[in-house]
Structure 1
Amino acid sequence: MYRRFGAPRVVRVEEVPRPSLGPDDVLVRVHASTVSAADHRARSRDVPKGLGMLAAVGIGLFRPRHRVLGMDVAGVVEAVGAKVTRFAPGDEVIAMLGDRFGAHAEYARVPQDGAITAKPRTMTFEEAVTLVFGGITARGFLNQVALEPGAAVLVNGASGAVGTATVQLAKHAGAHVTAVCSGANGDLVTSLGADRVIDYTTEDFTAEATTYDVIVDCVGNVPFERLEACVEPGGALLQVIADLQGVLRASGRSRRSGKLVTASVGRYRAADLAHLVELAESGRYRAVIDRTFDLTDIAEAHAFVDTGRKRGNVVLTGLVDRRSAGRAWRTG
């Protein structure tokens, strides 16, 4: 947990009470989570330009609103509330907590009507949790367009958690996928289905004459005007990361351009997680793990994510049964 904003060292392991259980809640004993870009932003308050005050509503103004970070969970149901009918103790599940956070702990509370579903039977907990943050975000944005087979899709920032998920989901839909990333990550995104790789360190994709049916921007480092010019008439610009201007002007830009421009992922849904699980179990979605850290190394995990160079997901383990390991820690 963290009690103030700042560098990775502000995050430390402490003991706190187990989350209380409401009648519609599922209590999950956490086996794995990830340290995501969202955790980095919440901890450091490093948010896109103009979003400082808006972000403060969710993460806190002077002190963290949610002291335990972590948006995604893979684990085992420990207990259920009196009105829960979809899950039972012993079920293996994955879940997205979203901006409530709380996953970097031994136990996490999830409403049964939230984004929670059965874990893929073919994956370990460490692999399964990689479906959640990146996968449900990619799915939420791609749900807003009708990808036809052969559609041209460009993913800017293709080697991160959301990027690697987007490449796989777009390819599964039959799209021709162009991945923008560093040359060092070219083999990775190609193995996930990218048909073409643009090395952003040597090429500027916006300087080409090529246009795309859909651009998914996972970086937010290119001005709107240059991105919009690369989108086909009637196409879509999906801004996974956007500054305040991008958020506020999205609907107006859609009307003026005749192209869908959005910075909203929509609502996290259990159905989207279930779709990802189906793909994973059939071998059509792959877990992408850069590094795995134990809970005791949580500050080091944050420091690695802060570099901005992670490939896919940074997984956090060692959250189960801290007491049985001779430690008095319950959350991190």
Structure 2
Amino acid sequence: MTTNATMTAAVHRRFGPPEVVHLEQLPIPVPKAGEVVIRVHASTVSIADHRSRARDVPRGLGFLAAAGLGILRPRRRVLGMDAAGVIDAVGPGVSSFAPGDRVIALPGAAFGGHAEYLRMPADGPIALAPSTLPLDEAIALVFGGFTAYGFFKNVIITPGTTVLVNGASGAVGTAAIQLAAQRGAHVSAVTSGKNTALVTALGADEAIDYTREDFTADGRTWDVIVDCVGNAPFTRVEHSINPGGTLLLVINDLPGMLRARGQSRRTGKLVTGNVGSPAAADLAELSALTDAGQFRPVIDRGYDLADIVHAHRYVDTGRKVGNVVLRVRPA
């Protein structure tokens, strides 16, 4: 059910470069039973939006991508895997949220965050936003924060655990550093030299400049390696993982997926690309850590919704640090 009222949304009706995205007027959704409608204040433009818009996916995943994203045209015309905003309306039977609640949400593969209103199930991945941040900053903890939090459910990190984050300056990498350090791990961050100050400020014990040093070349080992780039498959880093250790593949291709179980069984080292499913409890934990001063979102730059093409162009460069915020409803 929709109303006659309209909202502005960033829409792409074909796959391609940033210029395929444009603003359109779409009906404002009305919540059904068990649903809420969020008046979106901010979202992010992430690598997931790039991949979905351009249908640029890791090796071997083209067929699966076509099934999920669309064959000839996009199945999800409004991108945006996350949202921060205010509950605008609730459907029948919803008691967990009320109009006016400040929330963060992760629609994930359903997308929809790049619009002024977003409809979601009330029992989905929605949580109260941190009280210590404005919404256009709070949004930057959602996508990368959930991804790192979900991957870390595969391992036990305690004081003294050694963790290497490859691609430490991106949305997931900056979150992974903080979550690992918050649990007492010794964190090595692989990034470019210009980001050394950032990663150490986030809690990394050392920064490894990939332009000068190959972290796999000197015989050092870690308990957990988090690959946020896609250039550290198990065949490259096996000998850099301690016995019984773990490789978390945030970016993985089809051959890597197919080999992971056999590699884990053969070596006793867990190889996995399992991030789990988004959960409200995970977002609530990230919000609580933020309010406690133990987690902070990293923002590279922000764009207004009217500048959505410029936001996509910047993300396409691959040079973003942390998150690119999309101000859907400027303050």
Q: TM-score, normalised by structure 1?
A: 0.95
Q: Partners in 1 of 2:236 and 2:320 — Cα distance?
A: 26
Give the match for residue 6 of structure 2.
none
Kindly indicate whether structure 1 or structure 2 has the higher relative contact order, using CA contacts under 8 Å at least 6 residues apart.
1
Q: Does 1:143 align with 2:153?
A: yes
The correspondence for 1:30, drawn from 26, 40, 44, is 40
Give the match for residue 269 of structure 2.
259
C-alpha deviation, 1:242, in angstroms: 0.4
Query: Is the Cα–Cα contact under 8 Å of residues 225 and 247 in structure 2 kept in the other structure?
Result: yes
Q: Partners in 1 of 2:85 and 2:191 — Cα distance?
A: 32
Give the match for residue 245 of structure 2.
235
Amino acid at match of 1:167: I
Unaligned runs of 5+ in 1: 322-332
Amino acid at match of 2:38: V
SS at match of 1:276: helix
Amino acid at match of 2:16: G
C-alpha deviation, 1:223, in angstroms: 3.5
Give the match for residue 197 of structure 1.
207
Q: Partners in 1 of 2:157 and 2:65 — Cα distance?
A: 32
Percent sequence identity is 61
The correspondence for 2:67, drawn from 46, 57, 64, is 57
Q: Partners in 1 of 2:227 and 2:233 — Cα distance?
A: 11
Give the match for residue 220 of structure 1.
230
Give the match for residue 18 of structure 2.
8
Amino acid at match of 1:319: R
Give the match for residue 171 of structure 2.
161
C-alpha deviation, 1:44, in angstroms: 0.7
C-alpha deviation, 1:224, in angstroms: 2.1
C-alpha deviation, 1:318, in angstroms: 3.5
Query: Is the Cα–Cα contact under 8 Å of residues 114 and 328 in structure 2 kept in the other structure?
Result: no
Post-superposition Cα deviations, 1:9-68, rounded to whole Å, max 9, x if no partner, equal 000100011124221111000000000000000001111111111111211111100000
- Across the aligned residues of Structure 1 and Structure 2, the Cα RMSD in angstroms comes to 1.1
Q: TM-score, normalised by structure 2?
A: 0.95
Query: Is the Cα–Cα contact under 8 Å of residues 32 and 126 in structure 1 kept in the other structure?
Result: yes
Q: Does 1:132 align with 2:142?
A: yes
C-alpha deviation, 1:147, in angstroms: 0.5
C-alpha deviation, 1:320, in angstroms: 6.5
Query: Is the Cα–Cα contact under 8 Å of residues 17 and 54 in structure 2 kept in the other structure?
Result: yes
Give the match for residue 89 of structure 2.
79
Q: Partners in 2 of 1:57 and 1:20 — Cα distance?
A: 28
SS at match of 2:24: coil
Give the match for residue 330 of structure 1.
none
Query: Is the Cα–Cα contact under 8 Å of residues 105 and 319 in structure 1 kept in the other structure?
Result: no
The correspondence for 2:254, drawn from 244, 253, 270, is 244
Give the match for residue 290 of structure 2.
280
Post-superposition Cα deviations, 1:148-179, rounded to whole Å, max 9, x if no partner, equal 11100000000000000000000001000000
Give the match for residue 297 of structure 1.
307
Give the match for residue 188 of structure 1.
198
C-alpha deviation, 1:257, in angstroms: 1.4
Give the match for residue 317 of structure 1.
327
Q: Does 1:93 align with 2:103?
A: yes
Amino acid at match of 1:24: G
Amino acid at match of 2:245: G
Query: Is the Cα–Cα contact under 8 Å of residues 43 and 83 in structure 2 kept in the other structure?
Result: yes
Amino acid at match of 2:268: G
Query: Is the Cα–Cα contact under 8 Å of residues 106 and 320 in structure 1 kept in the other structure?
Result: no
Unaligned runs of 5+ in 2: 1-10
Give the match for residue 114 of structure 1.
124
Give the match for residue 7 of structure 2.
none
The aligned length equals: 321
Q: Partners in 1 of 2:17 and 2:328 — Cα distance?
A: 22
